[in-house]
Chain A
């Protein structure tokens, strides 16, 4: 299967067209399919996230973009250029126009901060004075101008990743690949690095393709997301839509780690798949846009009449849009449920029955 022509647009920074990657058996390892017929496009100027558990194939996927890995079948296009058709020299040119940052930063311990950011420019054959002029503003951009003579060992994890980002931006790429860039950082540092990525995206118009296993990262910065599981894309779309209308169980499993999405332990344990007489139904309501601004709870209680329990809830922002999630319980009898469902439909709420409790 190839991608329908309509889905390939000139505006896409990266296109994966029916890409598969198989690793043949070698040594004690059995053959392994890392990617299975993946088609995906990354819009220019977007921050696109690819999320999946470890071993889902996301590292392989991102490495196809700059040719660090080659697909077994299918094609990868970067800015309309078929990566697989490039020779070594062509690949090197491509790589100089695509920045990459890494989970473990991969800074040279023997070089200063300045020297690390200068490295890609030296590799590209730029002369010393031009390098000097390019590196200084980059260090200012990432907020580490005062550290230029320091060695990586003298910096914190967050500072190292800032250097990694400055280094990735040195050759003025149009595309930045982020390979679990915040996975080795604490939550606070993660947020500051994500904030930096967002700023770069907005100010430099850079397309960012990031892979992660953390929903927090996807939620905080991406405009689009693809969920990958066992080498296949199981869900994709605008981040807001995927979060609020997740269909695939992998997505839900990944989402369940987010604060406010989790049911209290006591409720989760008592959850039953079917209702008995006198049971209560547990429903997750997702509301956003205009619905997030109405006094829903009081209206719900008025229309349902019966008592409504609030079990869990959160109000958050995804891609700058307000988003709420509320888990409520009410009588599972036909009358109460009927009223509740009518109310949900009238108000355009997305609901999901989680189960029943006594």
Chain B
């Protein structure tokens, strides 16, 4: 493989990491509160608003059930509005972020719903405000699950980021399509796939390790 190609692979890897990092960060920051809201706004819960809950749930489901590649195309006007362009790494971040939000929201919701209801009752009995219960009980207790949720989000994002390559999004997926597929260079394709696998492995094992450290539920001897 020529040094030029290697350089391209290197820079494509950085592009992928950049897209994943920004979309993961922004998507999680927006998805987290939505997930908390979904988990706490049912009837008789901390912030009861069953109708809003249903409405938000509907939007989340709609976004999640739209195939990603269609989402990318469908929101091109929005992408243009935000980044001024519809192709390239920067443009790809917009659909990636949009897809991350509902994904994170549902994972966060599940993690928080998993917290023992008895703990919420205990905190209420101590005179905690709903906000204190969210921060001191729900988020603290679900930290291992949230860490795993974040890990899963990043792993999915790495996959999605390869898909935006199909519409000129830059990064490893883009490289694989243009060189590996269209110019028929199987060695490039192989390297792209291997780099993606390594990235996913690294993220997953780091996430697992962190979640284990946060998890104090099992007896350590």
Question: Which residues of A does B touch, CB under 8 Å?
Answer: 66, 68, 91-96, 98, 100, 102, 104, 106, 108-111, 119-120, 122-124, 151-154, 171, 177
Contact yes or no, A153 B218, CB < 8 A: yes
- The answer to whether B132 and A108 have CB atoms under 8 Å apart is no
Q: Which residues of chain B from 102 to 160 have a CB within 8 Å of any chain A CB? A: 116, 118-119, 121-129, 132, 136-137, 140-141, 143
| A154, B125: Cβ atoms closer than 8 Å | no
Q: Are A110 and B126 in contact (CB-based, < 8 A)?
A: no
Taking the closest CB of chain B, its distance from the CB of A75, in whole angstroms, is 20
Q: Provide the residues of chain B in CB contact with A66, threshold 8 Å.
A: 125
A120-B220 Cα distance, complex, nearest whole Å: 26
The reply to whether B125 and A92 contact each other, CB–CB distance below 8 Å, is no
Cβ–Cβ contact A109 & B216, under 8 A: yes
Chain A minimum-CB-distance residue to B129: A92
Q: Compute how far the CA of A66 lies from the CA of B123 in the bound complex, rounded to whole angstroms.
A: 12
> Which residues on A sit within 8 Å (CB–CB) of B121?
68, 102, 106
- Within 8 Å by CB of A106, from B122, B127, B129, B217, lies B122
Does B183 interact with chain A (Cβ within 8 Å)? no
CB distance from A68 to the nearest CB of B (A): 6
Closest 5 CB pairs of A and B: A95-B127, A106-B122, A96-B127, A92-B127, A120-B126
Cβ contacts under 8 Å, B123 to chain A: 119, 123
**Residue among A95, A96, A110, A119 facing the most chain B CB atoms (10 A cut-off):** A110
Q: Do B127 and A120 touch across chains, with their CB atoms under 8 A apart?
A: yes
Per a CB cutoff under 8 Å, which of B118, B122, B127, B216 touches A110? B216
When C-beta atoms are compared, the residue in chain A nearest to B214 turns out to be: A110
Known: A66-B125, A120-B126, A154-B220. A110 touches B141 (CB 8 A): yes
Besides A95-B126, A119-B126, 18 more A-B contacts (Cβ < 8 Å) are A68-B121, A94-B127, A95-B124, A95-B125, A102-B122, A104-B118, A106-B122, A108-B141, A109-B217, A110-B141, A110-B143, A110-B214, A123-B127, A123-B128, A123-B129, A124-B127, A153-B220, A171-B126
CA distance A171 to B118 in the complex (A): 20
List the interface of chain B (C-beta within 8 A of A). Answer: 116, 118-119, 121-129, 132, 136-137, 140-141, 143, 214, 216-220
Given contacts A106-B116, A106-B119, contact A96 B140 (CB under 8 A): no
- Residue contacts A-B, CB under 8 angstroms, 9 given: A95-B126, A104-B118, A106-B118, A108-B119, A108-B137, A110-B140, A110-B141, A110-B214, A153-B219
Contacts of A96 in B (CB 8 A): 126-127
Q: Which residues of B contact A151 (CB under 8 A)?
A: 216, 220
A102 — which chain B residues lie within 8 A by C-beta?
Answer: 118, 121-122
Given A102-B118, A104-B118, A119-B136, decide whether A109 and B141 contact each other with a Cβ distance below 8 A: yes
Q: Taking each of A92, A123, A154, A177, which has the highest tally of chain B beta carbons within 10 Å of its own beta carbon?
A: A123
Q: How many angstroms from the CA of A100 to the CA of B127 in the assembled complex?
A: 11
Nearest B-chain residue to A103, judged by Cβ: B118
Chain B residues with CB below 8 A from A110, complex form: 140-141, 143, 214, 216
Please measure, in the bound complex, the distance between the C-alpha atom of A231 and the C-alpha atom of B217, giving whole angstroms.
37
Whole-angstrom CA separation of A151 from B216 in the bound complex? 7
Q: Is the CB of A123 within 8 A of B125?
A: no
Chain B residues in 8 Å Cβ range of A122:
136
Give Cα A69–Cα B141 distance, bound, in whole angstroms.
Answer: 25
- Residues on B with C-beta less than 8 A from A92 are 127-129
Complex Cα spacing A95 to B127, Å: 5
Q: How far is the CA of A109 from the CA of B140 in the complex (A)?
A: 9
Q: Give min CB distance, B172 to chain A, whole Å.
A: 37
What residue of chain A has the Cβ atom nearest to residue B130's Cβ?
A: A88
Given A106-B119, A106-B121, check contact A153 B126 (CB 8 Å): no
Are the C-beta atoms of A111 and B219 separated by less than 8 Å? no
Smallest CB–CB gap between B204 and chain A, Å?
A: 23
Of B127, B214, B220, chain A has the most CB atoms within 10 Å of the CB of B127
Q: How far is the CA of A96 from the CA of B125 in the complex (A)?
A: 8
Q: Would you call B125 and A68 a contact (CB within 8 A)?
A: yes
Query: Given A68-B121, A108-B137, A109-B141, are A153 and B127 also a contact pair (CB < 8 Å)?
Result: no
Residues of A within 8 A of B128 (CB): 92, 123
Complex CA–CA separation, A177 to B118 (angstroms): 15
Min C-beta distance of A252 to chain B, whole Å: 33
Residue A111 contacts which of B124, B132, B140 (CB distance < 8 angstroms)? B140
Residues of B within 8 A of A106 (CB): 116, 118-119, 121-122
**CB-based contact B140/A153 at 8 Å:** no
Chain A proximity of B217: nearest CB distance (Å): 5
Residues of B within 8 A of A98 (CB): 125
User: By the criterion CB–CB under 8 Å, are A93 and B119 in contact?
Assistant: no
Question: In the complex, what residues of B have CB within 8 A of residue A100's CB?
Answer: 122, 125-126
Nearest CB of chain B from residue A314's CB, rounded to whole Å: 37
A68 to B143, CA, bound (A): 27
For residue A124, which residues in chain B have a CB less than 8 angstroms away from its CB? 127
Q: Hey, which chain B residues are within 8 Å of A93, CB to CB?
A: 127
**Smallest CB gap from A89: residue in B:** B129
Question: Shortest CB–CB separation between residue B196 and chain A, in angstroms?
Answer: 34
Could you say which residues of chain B place their CB within 8 Å of the CB of A109? Answer: 141, 216-217
B136 adjacent to A123 (CB under 8 Å):
yes
